[in-house]
């Protein structure tokens, strides 16, 4: 899967980018039609300890899933966001597909 990682107002190190790539590659186990994903890393200027924000957009055919998480570290936020995405993808895969010819009005 193609992963576009953007860090806002700071430079993300290679370890963090590799962690994000590996974690998002695991989403293919839950839904095999994932096209690409966009990851935005931001540091929020607050006095709270949980100032790392991650926004992940996952593109699948005819749909887009967006998850935002805010935690103490980027790794924790990415892990939490991927867990939410896994649940959403499993739910999407479980929905029955109805073709256009079978729809009743």
Residue range 2-102 forms a domain whose CATH class is: alpha beta
The whole-number pLDDT of residue 97 equals 67
pTM for the model: 0.85
Q: Domain residues of the chain, as ranges?
A: 2-102
Task: Phi first, then psi: give them for residue 26, nearest 5 degrees.
Answer: -70, -15
* 56 vs 103, more confident: 56
Pairing of strands 52-60, 63-71: antiparallel
* 47 vs 85, more confident: 85
């Amino acid at each position: 899967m193609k992963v576009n990682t953007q860090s806002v107002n700071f430079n993300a190190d290679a370890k963090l980018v590799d962690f994000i790539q590996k974690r998002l590659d695991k989403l293919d186990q839950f839904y095999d039609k994932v096209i690409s994903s966009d990851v935005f890393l931001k540091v929020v200027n607050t006095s709270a300890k949980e100032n790392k924000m991650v926004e992940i957009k996952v593109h699948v055919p005819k749909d887009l899933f967006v998850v935002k998480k805010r935690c103490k570290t980027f790794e924790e936020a990415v892990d939490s966001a991927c867990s939410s995405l896994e649940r959403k993808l499993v739910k999407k895969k479980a929905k029955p597909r109805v073709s256009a010819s079978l729809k009743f009005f």
